[in-house]
Amino acid sequence: MATIEQAPPPQVPAGPSHGPGPDHPPTSTGTTNVKLAIWLFLASDCLFFGAFISAYLLYRGRAQTGPTPAKVYSIPFTSVSSFVLLMSSLTMVLALAAIQRGDLRRLRIWLLSTALLGSVFVGGQIFEFTEFSRKGLGLSTNLFSSTFFVLTGFHGAHVTIGIIWLLSLWALATQGRLTQKDAEKVEIAALYWHFVDVVWIVIFTLVYLIPTK
């Protein structure tokens, strides 16, 4: 028990070196609780999307009535919106890099652009959904449409939550309440955002690009 005296916890200097400030006390694994938690959540979310994706894969060929996937997909359109979401990942890391440097102006710019790109994606999705229903493919038209809407809809809901999160961070940043030492707050949001992007990468391939009978 005497060893406790020899192992004083590291005194963490606050200040320009934006290492873990007093908000980041030592932990057994050397990582913060929040970061561990967000990764656990993302791991769990893999099974969430996995279940929806498998339902989609099971049912995509089983459209009994109504238009088939090939009839309704507009690959150029979806490619563009996939591209937009992909690029939002870039702006997201740039935002993180900015706050790590302490460049708060760029932080705000990149946060806002990420949120904007995300909104463009969601907007595109809404457009796509209305387009589909115009072509006679509603949520309940057939199994393909049900699984499609539910899968992409829940993905869109994830994106929307991400947008709200980013805008909240942006609002904090504009009030000067998000500074260099809060880099981790941005990183957590970024991890969530990239995850949503990565899920879309999978959806884009499995749902849109792979040919259906």
Partner 1 sequence: MTTVADAPTQTPVRPPVILRRPKETTGVWSWFTTVDHKKIGIMYGVTALVFFCLGGIEALLIRLQLAGPNGTVLTASQYNQIFTMHGTTMVFLLGMPLSIAFANYFVPLMIGARDVAFPRLNAFGYWMFVTGGVFLYSSFLLGGAPNGGWFGYTPLTSTPLGLGALPGRGPDFWAVGIVMLGIGSTTAAINVIVTTLNMRAPGMTLMRMPVFVWMMLVTAFLTLFAMPIITVALIMVFFDRNFGTSFFLPAKGGDPLLYQNLFWLFGHPEVYILILPGMGIVSEILPVFSRKPLFGYPVVVFSGIAIGFLGWGVWAHHMFTTGLGPVAVSAFSLSTMLIAIPTGVKIFNWLATVYKGSVRLTTAMLFALGFIAQFTIGGLSGVSLAVVPADTQQHDSYFVVSHFHYVLFGGLVFGLFGGLYYWFPKVFGRMLDEKLGKWNFWLMVIGFNLTFFPMMLLGIYGMPRRVYRYDAGLGWGSLNLVATIGSFIIAVSVLLFIINAVVSRKRGVIAGNDPWDGRTIEWSTSSPPPEYNFAEIPEIQARDDLWHTKYTEDDDGVLVPLPSGGVDTPAATRAAAAPTHRIHMPSPSFYPLVAALGILPLAYAAVFHSYSWAFLLVAGGAIILAFGIYAWAIEPATAAEADH
Partner 2 sequence: MSDITLRDDSGATEVAGQTATALEPSAGLLPGELRPHPSPLRYVLIAVVLCVITAAEVSLYYLEGSLADAVIIPLLLVFAALKFGIVASWYMHLRTDKPIFARFFVLGIAGAILLFGIVLSSLQIFS
Q: Which chain residues interact with partner 1 by CB under 8 A? A: 1, 3-4, 7, 27-29, 31-33, 36-37, 40-41, 43-45, 47-48, 51-52, 55, 58-59, 62, 64, 139-140, 142-143, 146-147, 150, 154, 168
Applying CB under 8 A, the span of 39-47, 124-132, 136-144, 160-168 interacting with partner 2 comes to 39-47
| Number of chain residues interacting with partner 2 (CB under 8 A) | 73
- Binder of partner 2 out of 84, 90, 120, 150 (CB under 8 A): 90
- Choose among partner 1, partner 2, none what residue 184 binds, the Cβ cut-off being 5 to 8 Å by kind: partner 2
Whichever of 167 and 191 has its CB closer to partner 2, that residue is: 191
| Contact stretch for partner 2 (CB under 8 A) within 85-93, 118-126, 135-143, 162-170 | 85-93
First to last CA, the chain: 70
Chosen residue from 1, 13, 113, 157 binding partner 2 by CB under 8 A? 13
176 binds, among partner 2, partner 1, none (CB under 5 to 8 A by kind): none
| Positions 42 through 61 that interact with partner 2 (CB under 8 A) | 42-47, 49-51, 53-54, 57-58
Give residues 126-155 in contact with partner 2 (rule: CB under 8 A): none
In this structure, the number of other CB atoms found within 10 A of the CB of residue 54 comes to 13
Are 148 and 175 within 8 A, CB to CB? no
* Among 117, 145, 170, 184, interactor with partner 2 by CB under 8 A: 184
